[in-house]
Amino acid sequence: MLEKLLLNHYEAAAVILSGIGLTNLLLQRNLIKKIIGLNIMDTAVYLFLAAKGYVAGRAAPILLENGSGGWVTSSSVYVNPVPAGLVLTGIVVSVSVTAFALALTLKLYESYGTLNIDEALLRMTEQQEELEAKVDEAEEGILS
Amino acid sequence: MINMFAYNIPFVSIFMLMIAAIITPLLPKRNRLPEKLSCYVIGIIAILSAYLLYVLTSSGQSLSFNFPMGHFPAPWGNELRAGPLEAVLALVFCIAMLLSLTGNFSSTAEDIAPNRRQIFCVLVNLLTASLLALTYTNDLFTAYVFIEINTIAACAIVAVKEGPETVRAALRYLVMSLVGSGLVMIAICLLYDLTGHLLMQNMHGAIQVLVTTKSYMMPLTVSLALITAGLAIKSALYPFASWLPDAHGSSTNASSAILSGLVLKGHIFTIIKIFYRVFGLEVIHLLRMDTVIFILGLLAMIMGSVHALKQTNVKRMIAWSSVAQVGYIFLGVGLNTTAGVAAACLHIIVHACIKPMLFTAAGGLSNAAGHKKGLHALMGTFYVNRWAGMGLIVGAFSMMGIPGFAGFASKLSLMMASFDHSVVVWSLAALAISSVLNALYYVPAVIVVLTHNKDAQKNFTAPAPTRSYKISMFIFLALNFYLGLFCMPLLRLITRGVNVL
């Protein structure tokens, strides 16, 4: 068991990191901490993909010169470029999602002055009750 | 075989929507040009999808084809795949999207400021593009990318209506969606690691080899569980549905209709494709995921309706009813037979036609009652806006499963499908209980709307429904009766589509 973990230490680290990220995203009440959790989770997946895509002793998938003016074309010399491509795509996705989440958080903070979603719900109901109370008072004033 | 024009339709429809999304911000804002452009593009794509469906089925046999993106051959390139089922779903998605937009044309103008309406159109185009891409794609990582595009666009059309309540609802929706798509991404990476492929058919072959040699069963189970859980969160299967009523209840009517009718369905169809095309039904049964989905479906059917009973806001009530309807679809998927999946697909189509109609009707009625959304405020609104009243009544009857209405057709086919299965007692009992519960909250709503209320009716100052509202509602009603009365040809078509999925 421990041997396998040590052998695949990158993957083990990725699993632990994604666990930390997921717990933060689900359980933290503060939105900024939630978004940090999201980024930790995404980064863990990139670590996993990068670790899987790397084969010791092979070169990046860019043609190498073979010394006599030609190119090395054997596929066994290079690593598979797809995992790196997936990491890049994933980074783009996570950047845009993070930007959108932060923009919404900013909006929420402007409306309620808090970064906590539950707190925002409480303040929203308070505001509505105040508003209704004011409307009632106004109506009573008109009636009297 | 298939002519070049039809062959390019899947790619062209996604590409046209992307282009429309890019040029929409450049259009002048007068005469509501951006919205008209979106409507026209979606309409053209609906016609193209109908033609594709005709080409794929007219020869009497069910054709399907793979479209290699950039013409790279199979194991390396990215592919789209179209068959009769994909074509019919694309057609229904486009029609429902178009009607949700045109039916709520005036309420969108009231809820969203003119400078934001342009952004709303960009989002709607992107959302439709991502739905079509999820329908057509044959590559799991492309599916992930479009799931994320779908997430951003779906949360943004909630937040596009001004107001602190929508921002809070959108944030809650976004957080749950991100948990879901995070799980999906981890699962896709695990599957890629296990199989070495991202194209669905190649993955299927590799998974068959893994299962026959009984190697790596644990990681395979984990990745299936993660991908199902992730997509279940995004399609609001019951225990993960807490975000849905806020998001669907607080947004503008067009957004509610689109979110409830279409966005959930894109993710459910992705689950169906993963079960059918990537794993295969035997492997799903071997890994016990069909039982899990079946039980969660049963739970959703009952609990969604129980929650809907407690609501006093009409839009939140309809939103909770969506949770119950998603349960029906998952019940069909959980039966894990061709007939079950076909019935689930029929319910996807039926629900994609009824739910936007109900939201459009509820929007029209609460508009007639002076923008009040409480159920009691709607008393007598039928006599102010009869089109909306008809929509609510027909939609409610359909949801209860009265024969002749669309909901009856899909419930009947779900029952017929479950007769081949050992769990028939459970599914019949759940369908019966759920139908009664549906009636318990839809019938009072119908009675309230139909009750004469002389005092309040004098205060109703809403303008008469616009022509676009009437036309959209008419088409919704016609679709509903068509599905209710003539569903068998459609069900046969879907079954043929499922067989070549």
3-state SS of B204-225 is: HHHHHHHHHCCCCHHHHHHHHH
Q: Determine if the pTM surpasses 0.90.
A: yes
**B292 membership: H or E segment, kind and range:** helix B289-309
Tell me the C-alpha to C-alpha distance, in Å, between residue B66 and each of B10, B43, B74, B438: 10, 24, 9, 41
What's the pLDDT tens digit per position in B51-87? 999 988 887 777 888 888 888 877 778 889 999 999 9
Residue B347 CB: number of other CB atoms within 10 A?
A: 27
Supply the range of the domain harboring residue A44. 2-58+77-113
Q: Is B112 left (phi over 0), alpha (psi -120 to 50) or beta?
A: beta
Residue A108 lies in a domain: yes
Residue A132 lies in a domain: no
**B66 - beta bridge partners?**
B81
B152 contact residues in A (CB cutoff 8 A): 96-97, 100
Residue A144 lies in a domain: no
Looking at residue A53, its amino acid is G
B165 contact residues in A (CB cutoff 8 A): 124
Question: Do B164 and A121 make contact, defined as CB atoms within 8 angstroms?
Answer: no
Nearest chain A residue to B168, by CA: A108
Mutate to test the interface with A, among B126, B186, B216 (most CBs of A within 10 A): B186
pLDDT band at B456 (very low <50, low <70, confident <90, very high): low
Question: Do B179 and A124 make contact, defined as CB atoms within 8 angstroms?
Answer: no
CA distance B422 to A74: 55
pLDDT band at B113 (very low <50, low <70, confident <90, very high): confident
Question: Do B186 and A18 make contact, defined as CB atoms within 8 angstroms?
Answer: yes
- How much is the ipTM here? 0.88
Residue A93 lies in a domain: yes
pLDDT band at B499 (very low <50, low <70, confident <90, very high): confident
CA distance B448 to B442: 10
Residue A120 lies in a domain: no
CA distance B111 to B366: 13
pLDDT band at B149 (very low <50, low <70, confident <90, very high): very high
Distance from CA of B5 to the nearest CA of A (A): 31
Residue A43 lies in a domain: yes
Mutate to test the interface with B, among A10, A30, A87, A100 (most CBs of B within 10 A): A100
CA distance B158 to B250: 8
3-state secondary structure of B9: helix
Cβ pair A15, A55 in contact under 8 A:
no
Measured between CB atoms, which of A18, A89, A105 is closest to B171?
A105
A46 in reach of chain B (CB within 8 A): no
Cβ pair B258, B124 in contact under 8 A:
yes
Half-sphere exposure of B90 (CA within 13 A, CB side): 36
A100 in reach of chain B (CB within 8 A): yes
CA distance B100 to B148: 23
Give the residue among B64, B247, B253, B258 at the shortest CA–CA distance from B159: B247
CATH number of the domain encompassing residue A50 = 1.10.287.3510
Looking at residue A17, its amino acid is L
Cβ pair A114, A120 in contact under 8 A:
yes
Of B207-211, B429-433, B457-461, the poorest mean pLDDT is in B457-461
Triad B273, B277, B281: Cα angle to 5°:
95
Question: Do B167 and A107 make contact, defined as CB atoms within 8 angstroms?
Answer: yes
Structure tokens at A72: 């090395």
The tally of domains found in chain A comes to: 1
Nearest chain A residue to B163, by CA: A111
Measured between CB atoms, which of A22, A31, A45 is closest to B171?
A31
Q: At a CB cut-off of 8 Å and minimum separation 6, what does A109 contact? A: A115
Residue A135 lies in a domain: no
Residue reference for tokens 């040029």: B23
Residue reference for tokens 């009664």: B436
Residue A30 lies in a domain: yes
Distance from CA of B171 to the nearest CA of A (A): 7
A52 in reach of chain B (CB within 8 A): yes
Asked whether residue B136 carries a pLDDT value surpassing 90, the answer given is: yes
Nearest chain B residue to A80, by CA: B196
Q: How many residues does chain B have?
A: 501
CA distance B242 to B325: 15
Measured between CB atoms, which of B141, B165, B183 is closest to A86?
B141
